[in-house]
Amino acid sequence: MRGKTVVGDAREVARATELIELGMRLQMLESEMPLSRERLTKLYKELKGKSPPKGMLPFSTDWFVTWMPNIHASLFMGIYHHLIKVSALDDIDALIKSYKLYLEQCQALDSDVVMSITRAWRLVRFVDAKMLRVAPCTCCKGEYVVREFDLTRHYVCGLCNVPSRAGKKRPDAALKIAA
């Protein structure tokens, strides 16, 4: 049983701390961590200096197939798959590590962080639950997040075939498309 020993407990608290700092919502911590709700709430308040936000978690799979989120979701998923393939990691550790790499990548690309860790976690769960999956683009061979029942034999990703209005919602959107 995890979290039963003092050392194990300390490790869980350290993990939870890391997750809260990355912006994870309390509801997710509850389902991922063997710590009690009270302790998590207390930890959250200590770290953030305010009560955890209430309300529903994002629950839509559609968000992940819209243009910009899809790019970021696919990037994250690529990193995540790579990590779990090359090393034996706990689910939650793999999530933390790949999310950090994703943040780094966003910084390197000078792009907004489109996907919160909550979304990233939902994405992994959606893929586990076979609501989403990845499919290779027939053009660039990259793997992109698609819905489970999408037809993908001739799939072309949103980067090989950029939709005409893509990324034009906000002028300061980090991914700039040539006019």
Question: Under the criterion CB under 8 A, does residue 11 sit at the interface with other proteins?
Answer: no
CB of 106 to other proteins, least distance (A): 9
Which range, of 10-18, 40-48, 103-111, 125-133, touches other proteins by CB under 8 A? 103-111
Q: Which is nearer to other proteins, 26 or 73 (CB)?
A: 73
Question: Under the criterion CB under 8 A, does residue 146 sit at the interface with other proteins?
Answer: no
To 10 degrees, what angle do helices 6-21 and 37-48 make? 50
| 75 burial level (CB within 10 Å; 0-12, 13-18, 19+) | buried
Exposure letters 6-17 (e unless 16+ CB within 10 A, then b): eeeeeebbebbe
Question: Under the criterion CB under 8 A, does residue 159 sit at the interface with other proteins?
Answer: yes
Q: Residues 145, 77: contact at Cβ < 8 Å?
A: yes
Give the binding site for other proteins (CB under 8 A): 71, 74-75, 78-79, 81-83, 85-87, 89, 93-94, 97, 100-101, 105, 108-111, 140-144, 159-160, 162, 167, 174-178
